[in-house]
Chains A and B, each alone.
Chain A
Amino acid sequence: MSWPSLTLLGQSLLSGIFIGALYGLLGLGLSLSWGMLRQINLAHFALAFLGAYLTYQLASVGGMDPLAALLVIVPCFFAFGAALHWLFARFSISPFNSLLVTFGVTVIMESLIQWIWTADYRRLESHYGEIKFRIGTLFVPFPELLTLLVAIALALGTWAALHYTDLGKALRAAAEDAPIAAAFGVNDRALALLLSGLSAAFAGVAGACLALSYTLAPSQIYAWIGVVFAAVMIGGLGNPIGPLIAGIVIGSSEALTMAVTAPAWAPLVSFSLLIIVLLARPQKI
């Protein structure tokens, strides 16, 4: 058996970091709504794919720049997320029931996507896909690099907003103990709508990044759930930076596993990490 070359290891590590960033980006909104609103929002994945399909549509049919499509997607998704939370609050849906309800919403959205775009594969061909940088023997594709930068910016931005702004402190207070926060004048209902809207908007951003790098099919919605859930749980619920770090750790370990052993072993990595974290620090989840 020969040792893998440094180029192989470096390129695989880059690939893992990039896909890990996407796990983190997909997990950001999920983590916020789960940790701070007590909503386990499975529809987050369907929303991300809806965002991806809308990016595809606006860019390949509408002729828009794929990134400019976010100007349409982000506000629409924010409104959708807020409306969804309003419904949840209106019918007092419990965290466990939110899992069931959002699964139903996911199935409906998958059918909607299939009805509009059919089940066939859709690939967004954009000029961004042609851009790549070279660092020595390593290649850095632009769409993946963009995903990493966006994931870092959103995770750090959200973390900073939660820790250093009054609004963020109010959000954290409401998440910690809504009645007490309300007693101090925090409008927890309005803040919950804001947070839910933001989470959905993050899904839209993740969708645009998905569309730039991946071929789309409606059933792919479910392919991401397991590993992104693992990233969110390892990273800590309600923590904006945690899923990104966990995602990068998972992505890198999977990629390095694929580089040095049988790629079929890679899925074991993320779930083994999850089990280890659950055993080692269950109180942090």
Chain B
Amino acid sequence: MKYLQRLALIAALLSLGAALHPAGAAPSGPPIRIGSTLALTGPLAATALVHKTVGEIFVDDLNRKDGLLGRPVEWIVKDDQSKPDLARTLYEQLVTVDKVDLLIGPYATGAILSAMGVAQRYNKVLVHHTFGIPSLAKYDMQFATWAIGPRPEETFPRLLYDALAGSAKPPKTVAVVTSKFPSVLFLSVGAREAAKKRGLKEVLFLEWEFGNKDFGPIASRVKDADPDFIWVGAIGLEGNMLLDALKKIDYAPRNHFYLYPAPGPMAKAPVAKNALAASVFEEHPPFTANPVAAAFIERFHERGAKAGLPDTSVDVQAASSYSAWQVLTAGVNATKSLDDKAIAAWLKQNPVDTIAGRLRFDGPNNYGDDLMKLKQLQNGRWVVVSPRQFAAPGADLIVQ
């Protein structure tokens, strides 16, 4: 018995030691400085907080292991206040004043475009996670992990309409209602054209200015048109605002898609039942079968709760953000250098396995495959329903 107690004591001490000093050599030497901005304040701040939490998790994990190239990593993140012009100034500052070794992208298309200009001027690699208009990504050392492919305005509506067409009750009429937010509008226009090509009858098309506050009349027009399917080109709160307005006039859309919704608040809205949206990752198999993804989900839940995120689910934003860090560090590790040109050359020739899937950068504007999937809100939870190989166990597309 005493022998067993001693053995248990030794095991406990060993585990404590392991916890205090994890396996692998501790990183040493001067830190590798990675610079970025995020929209920590301003209208995009809600989502940028997700990216900040992801970055902190990734850098902490790197430093807990053996860092990058054996050196510790320091992430310098500045607040661009959701302003692309400020993002440009801050990236200039990161390169010239903070002398960062590597850059990673800010949040959202406008700021990324600004950062891309600075990266191009200083020949720096820019890996970014949330760029919405691939045709504008002209810099040859930029790499997008928001895996929407080079022509999402064609590929994504195809995925969506294919899924609907394959359902038991394919829609015959469609309404396209959309924000004029640039990275939203071009996809909505693509969805409109795809619907026409498929012979769906368009019963309503309308656009609103980003920042619109009164969705009552838009909801009334949707109710009046009563389409089988609504494409809602909404970003952030807009989807919820339209749903709230629909609820007030007692109208529940039969089949409805939201381009870039605020997934947490939408999941909580009863009228959002069976809503569709785009995703690259959700918290269910087969995505969670990846051990890196599973570990990340656990860490994100914990850190997200501490950061005050009301919704700590890992979905498209968090997964694309994590993938950006994976891509950048894969380039550094493979080339064993911080040389931007070497990293860019390697990334163009080699796909990188990320939690969002295998990303490649050898297509137009360094884009690879469109890895977007279709998810649906079922029983208060987002689940992927198409393509079938990524669908949550037991989940089928519900079409009414």
Contacts and interface: CB of A to CB of B under 8 A. Distances in A.
B41 A119 contact: yes
Nearest to B179: A264
B22 interface: no
Contacts of B236: 121
Size category, B interface: 35 or more
Nearest to B41: A114
B214 A258 contact: yes
Interface stretch (A11-19, A76-84, A194-202): A11-19
Nearest to B49: A119
Contact of A120 (B42, B264, B268): B264
A277 interface: no
B309 interface: yes
B224 A8 contact: yes
A123 interface: yes
B334 interface: no
A214 B216 CA distance: 12
A141 interface: yes
Given A4-B224, A262-B206, A264-B207, A12 B43 contact: no
Nearest to A121: B265
B65 interface: no
A110 B81 CA distance: 12
Given A16-B216, A139-B248, A266-B212, A8 B221 contact: yes
Interface stretch (A42-50, A148-156, A215-223, A233-241): A215-223
Nearest to B309: A120
Contact of A215 (B42, B208, B241): B241
Contacts of A223: 211, 213
Contact of A123 (B212, B248, B265): B265
B207 A255 contact: no
Interface in A105-147: 110-111, 114, 117-123, 125, 132, 139, 141, 144
Given A119-B49, A139-B250, A267 B216 contact: no
B214 A118 contact: no
Contacts of A141: 248
Interface string A219-231: 1000110010000
Size category, A interface: 35 or more
A118 B213 contact: no
Contacts of A132: 248, 250
Contacts of B49: 118-120
A12 B41 contact: no
B46 A12 contact: no
A218 B218 CA distance: 24
A118 B309 contact: yes
A12 B82 contact: no
B220 interface: yes
Given A119-B41, A121-B262, A264-B209, A255 B241 contact: no
Contacts of B264: 120-121
A29 interface: no
B370 to A, nearest CB: 28
Contacts of A121: 46, 236-237, 240, 262, 264-265, 310
Contacts of B310: 118, 120-122
Contacts of B262: 121
Contacts of A144: 248
Contacts of A157: none
Interface string A1-36: 000110110011011101100000000000000000
A207 interface: no
A264 B82 contact: no
A264 B212 CA distance: 8
Q: Which of B46, B217, B265 has the most CB of A within 10 A?
A: B217
A259 interface: yes
B250 A218 contact: no
Interface of B: 40-43, 45-46, 48-49, 82, 180, 206-209, 211-214, 216-218, 220-221, 223-224, 236-237, 240-241, 244-245, 248-250, 262, 264-265, 268, 307-311
* Top-4 shortest CB links A-B: A15-B216, A119-B45, A258-B217, A12-B217
Given A11-B223, A139-B250, 20 more contacts: A8-B224, A15-B220, A18-B216, A19-B216, A111-B41, A114-B41, A118-B49, A118-B307, A119-B46, A121-B46, A121-B237, A121-B265, A123-B265, A144-B248, A224-B213, A258-B214, A263-B206, A263-B208, A264-B208, A266-B208
